[in-house]
Structure 1
Amino acid sequence: MSQANAPPHELKRILTRRDLILYGLVLLGPTAAYPVYGIVQQTSHGHAVLAYLVAMTAMLFTAASYGKMSSAYPSAGSTYTYTNRALNTQVGFLAGWAMLLDYFLIPLLSVVYAALTANRTVPQVPYAAWAILFTVAITLINVRGLRVTARAGNVMMALMCACAVLFVFLAAWHTISQHGWAGLVQFRNVYNPAEFAVKPLVLGAAIASLSYIGFDAISALAEDTIRPERDISIATILVCVVQTLLCVLTVYMAALVWPDFQSYKDPETVILDIGALAGGPWMLGFMTFILLVAALASALTGQAGASRLLLGMGRDGVISPRIFAHIDPRYSTPVRGIYFMGAVSLLGSLVLRFQLVVELLNFGAFAGFILVNLSVIRHFYLRQHQRAGLAVLGSLVFPLLGAGFCTYIWLNLSAKAQLAGFGWLGCGLIYLAILTRGFRLTPRSMDSLAAGDLS
């Protein structure tokens, strides 16, 4: 069937592996380590490099699970689709509901941060005006399709890469001028036996994992991808590896410039102080601008991924198919889902506090990660009996390790985040009970119900 005659609920397959990798890197950002560097460095007792390597190991297990599930079910919906097919429809609904929280918060958090940054730079323009401007711009770009989103992402990615390279260069120049070439090799910035302890390292890795939140959105673009069975898996793993290289290089060079992690005045913004120390006031201004660009890039790609998750849930009738399963014939995009996400980001940016949004971000993400890892075990190990030789690693060992690490992080979130997160899941459970008429129906069998009196 040609793309011109494609059914109204199908997306055009236009994305290549390169597009997927770029999408993932833009969503995560080469400057992702900047906001959390000081916190990771202090929490891990000066072992930010090791913390990122530990976080990468755990995220790679989960990334491999997303890749395996995308090969089995190459369709939109990502976490929701995988758990729905591999576990059961009700768990799939709750997984999708949990990930909705994460997908809502990524663009929302980015809009809030961008608006706050712009308001501090140009205080004459009120915060609300910046929030409206950024939300409208991001929404209109996404409505015109992923090709336009990818082009905008190219520009944003180039700016962020320029900042990352410049920061490393200036940090190296500053170190050489202070300590000579030998100053670039400081093993204590990787491992310092006087400060090392396992528990602080693991806690630092848990915080460092924030730099990877959103990589799973690549799998949500399976129906936009030309060869999803192969490219989704490769792109997801490569994005995690490249992201780690960028973060490790950043935190290592930052520690060279400011080695005393106990003297940070404000850990959340110390990266800007380090940039100013290495490059002067102009570098401080440039890094502030880049963090603004990174926030907009994350909001742009996050909104695109969220609308695809809504599309997958809308097709199965667990949310209104009239709204969320609609695809615009002109741009081949789920425009109603995009508009809905724009409204959520705008409303949330005006009424929610930044700190609460940050605390909630990990709850939905790691709940989904746990269920996807378990889905791999159910589908490949239990159903398809992939247990011979090395196959058992991908079907059981790796996803079990990924689920274990994610569960550890999930259970160590703050009490406030857990209260709000479980409250969100409780609302989802109530909604599911209504949709299934007291769990007597399955979400998959309620298409006509959702299209009728509940739509």
Structure 2
Amino acid sequence: MNLRAAAVRRKPVADLITEGDHGTLKRSLGLGQLTMLSIGATLGSGIFVVLGEAVPVAGPAVVLSFVLAGVTALFSALSYAELAGMIPVSGSSYSYAYATLGELVAWVCGWCLVLEYGVSVASVAVGWGQYLNELLRLTFGFAIPDALSQPPGSGGIVNVPAIVVVLLAMFLLLSGAKESARANAIMVVIKVGTLVLFCAIAFSAVRAANFTPFLPLGLAGLSAGAAKLFFSYIGFDAASTAGEEAKNPQRDLPRAILLSLAIVTVLYCLVAVAAVGALPWQEFDGQEAALSHVLGVVADNPLWAGLLAVGAIVAISSVVLTVLYGQTRILFSMSRDGLVPAALSKVDPKSGTPRINTLVVSGFVAALAAFIPLGKLADATSIGTLFAFGLVNVAVLLLRRRQPEAPRSFRVPFSPVTPILGVLCCGYMMLSLDGATWIVFAGWMALGLLIYFGYSMRRSRLAAE
């Protein structure tokens, strides 16, 4: 087989759309559920801990850092919105790359998403156990012992809470996309309500003096804060993985992606204003649970800290559910294309979900969270995400040139400038990551290429055709 020909073969956009229209997944999700899906995947443990890392480097200007990070994410969100409306399939950026950049790049993109989704879910599941312990301490005065709440290498034997939250998400996913979306919507309402409650309490203690000087560390601090905060926006693309389960994908997918990003950005900015207004920015240094720290200072009542812990538990549960959903749908598309085993694209006729796929992914993630200290490996999720975002911006540019007259329910404004800015922003963020992250990424890519050339390239449906 000609390796170059295999690597650059592309899947026509028309074929992707036909597969989506005549697929085996059930179309049951409306605009509200799709928006909640993206909010559920984005609004998670990040806002509960990331503020403590960003405020010391940006000062009160962390509010503008959130805006700057949101604008950076917006460039890629606009590209996702155009392609999701044009190619409404489950594969998200993997499918967009297959249609524009060829099979090899699509495989690399899909492999990056496996790293991003799988490791990030495991990492978030570990955080869920930590917040559960916090709630148990506040409510009952005891916590789960380290032996049963930490993985080997971190002072424990097995992380039972992490297994529990992954299995709960798995059972919801197996019940069907509509049922999972309904549960996620309830969790999103709870966690948004928790953050609004935090704002209401913190705003009662806001002092104007805490905002001066507004830029104590200059513009460099502002941009450094934005670089840290960018990763709080990862997840807005979750709606694009529901392309084959949306009732009206051409209309609803672009709206859901952009609406979720707008809601999350406004909420982040409100939380940031309330937090730095209630507490001098110097006091955030070293505070991992920044929001709990703020409440502990401004409200002398353990009830509020307990409610915040409940909100964090619900927030993380929602992230586990929605990101696990996205992982199964991307593997579903890769399996349908022949790049991974066919069993992963078999759909249960009763629930309309890829049952084997869900069981395999959930088992892998649960084992990862239970027995492996994630450490620096978790940072590699960021580089995989940014790589996928960059490819989506490139895909918009290529499809605009190759198929300018193709129907698009949404068009990126100011193209090609906006997608080019998206590529540059993703490249800048990738270069800002440390060397250890790049080493992990390179090792993961090497493993992926071995699998592609040894298995996927010859079993591809395009190869058969």
TM-score range, shorter chain: 0.7 to 0.9
User: 8 Å contact 1:106–1:298 — kept in the other structure?
Assistant: no
Deviation at 1:186, TM superposition (A): 6.9
> What residue in structure 1 maps to residue 70 of structure 2?
56
Amino acid of the residue matched to residue 192 of structure 1? Answer: F
Measure the CA separation in 2 of the matches of 1:208 and 1:156: 23
> What residue in structure 1 maps to residue 139 of structure 2?
none
Amino acid of the residue matched to residue 317 of structure 1? Answer: G
User: 8 Å contact 2:170–2:358 — kept in the other structure?
Assistant: yes
Deviation at 1:100, TM superposition (A): 1.2
> What residue in structure 2 maps to residue 131 of structure 1?
162
Q: Residues 5-404 of structure 1: matches in 2 within 5 Å?
A: 9-29=23-43, 32-119=46-133, 121=136, 122-124=142-144, 126-127=148-149, 128-175=159-206, 179=207, 183=208, 188=212, 192-197=214-219, 199-259=220-280, 261-280=281-300, 281-321=302-342, 323-384=343-404, 393-404=413-424
Measure the CA separation in 2 of the matches of 1:108 and 1:87: 30
Task: Give CA-to-partner distance per residue, 1:199-220, whole Å, 9 cap, x none.
Answer: 3322211211121111111101
Task: Give CA-to-partner distance per residue, 1:211-253, whole Å, 9 cap, x none.
Answer: 1111111101010001111211111011111110000000111
Measure the CA separation in 2 of the matches of 1:137 and 1:235: 26
Deviation at 1:289, TM superposition (A): 2.2
User: 8 Å contact 1:9–1:325 — kept in the other structure?
Assistant: no
Task: Give CA-to-partner distance per residue, 1:353-376, whole Å, 9 cap, x none.
Answer: 243343122011101001111111
Measure the CA separation in 2 of the matches of 1:154 and 1:16: 12
User: 8 Å contact 1:72–1:229 — kept in the other structure?
Assistant: yes
Task: Give CA-to-partner distance per residue, 1:88-125, whole Å, 9 cap, x none.
Answer: 11111111111111111232122111123324535346
Measure the CA separation in 2 of the matches of 1:218 and 1:330: 23
Task: Give CA-to-partner distance per residue, 1:278-307, whole Å, 9 cap, x none.
Answer: 223222222122211111110011111111
Deviation at 1:265, TM superposition (A): 4.7
User: 8 Å contact 2:380–2:440 — kept in the other structure?
Assistant: yes
TM-score with structure 1 length normalisation? 0.87
Deviation at 1:313, TM superposition (A): 0.5
Is 1:445–2:459 an aligned residue pair? Answer: no
Q: Structure 1 residues 15 and 109, CA, compared in 2 at 3 Å: closer, same or farther? A: same
Q: Structure 1 residues 393 and 262, CA, compared in 2 at 3 Å: closer, same or farther? A: same
Deviation at 1:394, TM superposition (A): 4.7
User: 8 Å contact 2:66–2:229 — kept in the other structure?
Assistant: yes
Q: Structure 1 residues 307 and 168, CA, compared in 2 at 3 Å: closer, same or farther? A: same
Quick check: 223-232 or 279-288, which moved more? Answer: 279-288
> What residue in structure 2 maps to residue 453 of structure 1?
none
Deviation at 1:271, TM superposition (A): 2.1
Deviation at 1:45, TM superposition (A): 3.8
Deviation at 1:194, TM superposition (A): 4.3
Q: Structure 1 residues 124 and 62, CA, compared in 2 at 3 Å: closer, same or farther? A: closer
Listed as ranges, the gaps of 5+ residues in structure 1 are 1-5, 449-455
Measure the CA separation in 2 of the matches of 1:396 and 1:267: 42
Deviation at 1:163, TM superposition (A): 1.1
Deviation at 1:47, TM superposition (A): 1.7
* Percent of aligned pairs with the same amino acid: 24
> What residue in structure 2 maps to residue 427 of structure 1?
447
User: 8 Å contact 2:41–2:235 — kept in the other structure?
Assistant: yes
Listed as ranges, the gaps of 5+ residues in structure 2 are 1-19, 137-141, 150-158
TM-score with structure 2 length normalisation? 0.85
Amino acid of the residue matched to residue 73 of structure 2? Answer: M
User: 8 Å contact 1:31–1:164 — kept in the other structure?
Assistant: no
Amino acid of the residue matched to residue 387 of structure 2? Answer: A
Amino acid of the residue matched to residue 449 of structure 2? Answer: L
Amino acid of the residue matched to residue 378 of structure 2? Answer: V
Deviation at 1:442, TM superposition (A): 8.7
RMSD (Å) for aligned C-alpha atoms: 2.5
User: 8 Å contact 2:61–2:215 — kept in the other structure?
Assistant: no
User: 8 Å contact 1:30–1:164 — kept in the other structure?
Assistant: no
User: 8 Å contact 1:74–1:229 — kept in the other structure?
Assistant: yes
Measure the CA separation in 2 of the matches of 1:76 and 1:254: 38
Amino acid of the residue matched to residue 395 of structure 2? Answer: S
Amino acid of the residue matched to residue 143 of structure 2? Answer: P
Task: Give CA-to-partner distance per residue, 1:414-453, whole Å, 9 cap, x none.
Answer: 222111112111111111111366xxx69442469xxxxx
Amino acid of the residue matched to residue 200 of structure 2? Answer: F
